[in-house]
Amino acid sequence: MDIVLLIIGFLLMILGLIGSFLPILPGPITGWFGLLTLHASSIVDFDSTFLGITLLVAIFIWIIDYFIPAYGTKRFGGSKQGVYGTTIGLVIGLLSPIPFGIFIGAFLGAFIGELLYDSKDTNRALKASFGAFVGFLASATIKFSVSLVYLILFVRIFFKHKELFF
């Protein structure tokens, strides 16, 4: 049973990394569930303070993730349509076979969203879409960093106890 929990926990860690770039999947919280799954094994027992602090960090990142892209868009003069366009562009870019499609999609989605808001001012739309893109990058970088730290903790803890798993 412990090996099954280890595999599920590792899969949650990988999903946490992927979720750092997807607006649908909360990366750090998913990674935290990977740590919790490892804790559920009979081999590894975390301190409740460790689990509590990592959970609080994951929740904090999840909350600010809703504000960072919007702040980037607003800071550069964007609208809600730009934020919506960024999200739609992320999903389309993710599904496209183009390298770095997620980034191109986020930028183009924000640009198109801003043009739908005000089709006459392409300079403002370009500036706002850049702000949405910067907000997305900042948010994704923060989420990826936290998820990566959770993965590193998971791997370190596993290697500390690996002889007990096998």
Q: How many domains does the chain have?
A: 2
Residue 137 shares a structural domain with residue 157:
no
Which of 73, 68, 71 is CA-nearest to residue 110?
73
Q: What pTM, to 2 d.p., does this model score?
A: 0.79
Question: Looking at residue 66, what DSSP letter applies?
Answer: T
Residue 133 shares a structural domain with residue 72:
yes
pLDDT band at 36 (very low <50, low <70, confident <90, very high): very high
Rounded Cα–Cα distance for residues 114 and 130 (Å): 11
Domain that holds residue 150: 2-65+143-165
Residue 78: predicted pLDDT: 78
Residue 86 shares a structural domain with residue 39:
no
- Token pair for 155: 């791997």
**How is the chain split among helix, strand and coil, in percent rounded to 5?**
80, 0, 20
pLDDT band at 130 (very low <50, low <70, confident <90, very high): confident
